[in-house]
Amino acid sequence: MKTIAVYPGSFDPPTFGHLDIIERSSRVFSRVIVSVAKNLTKDTMFTPMERVTMLRKLIRPFPNVEVDSFRGLLVEYVRIVDAHVVVRGLRAISDFEYEFQMAHMNKKLSPDVDTVFMMTGERYSYISSQIAKEIARFGGKIDDLVPPLVRDSMVRKLGGKR
């Protein structure tokens, strides 16, 4: 049985923690769609297309993973791509409450969609996109937080500050 999973997020920017979840999801599911959410309420560093482009380069080692984007309700998007699983990464207990609430709401809206939680690897548990952006804005070293492609894109966005 082929199982299609959607790993949604803002991915602004993609981090090593995101890649950890992508790699591990690619081993569990037949097909994984990493989908950039076009969230109008977030102040982002990168446009949705820039994030999609970065992610497409980063997922090349995983032949069963693809990148897309969506706007609107996640469960509607999941239905459109014929998936039945949503993958969510958890870094810490503090992530669980929000993700638990969202999983239940998604289940209410679309009973045939299940949410699978994956704990981010211990070595990435402290990484978040927000932290990476904040450190980069102050010229700090982010090599352990994001892949070189992302780091270089962040440096360019910040006008060459490193």
The verdict on whether 42 is a catalytic residue reads yes
Q: How much of the chain, in percent, has pLDDT values that exceed 90?
A: 81
Mean pLDDT value of segment 102-121: 95
Marked catalytic residue, from 35, 129, 151, 153: 129
Domains in the chain, please, with CATH? 4-126 (3.40.50.620)
Average pLDDT over residues 95-113: 93
> What's the mean per-residue pLDDT of the chain?
93
Q: Is 18 marked active-site?
A: yes
Catalytic residue among 42, 57, 71, 161: 42
- pTM, entire model: 0.93
Q: Give the pLDDT of residue 40.
A: 65
CB within 8 A of 44, min separation 6: which ones? 10, 12
Checking if the pLDDT of 125 tops 60, the result is yes
**Residue in 109, 103, 100, 42 with CA at minimum distance from that of residue 73:** 109
The H or E element containing residue 148 is helix 148-157
Q: What confidence score (pLDDT) does residue 55 get? A: 98
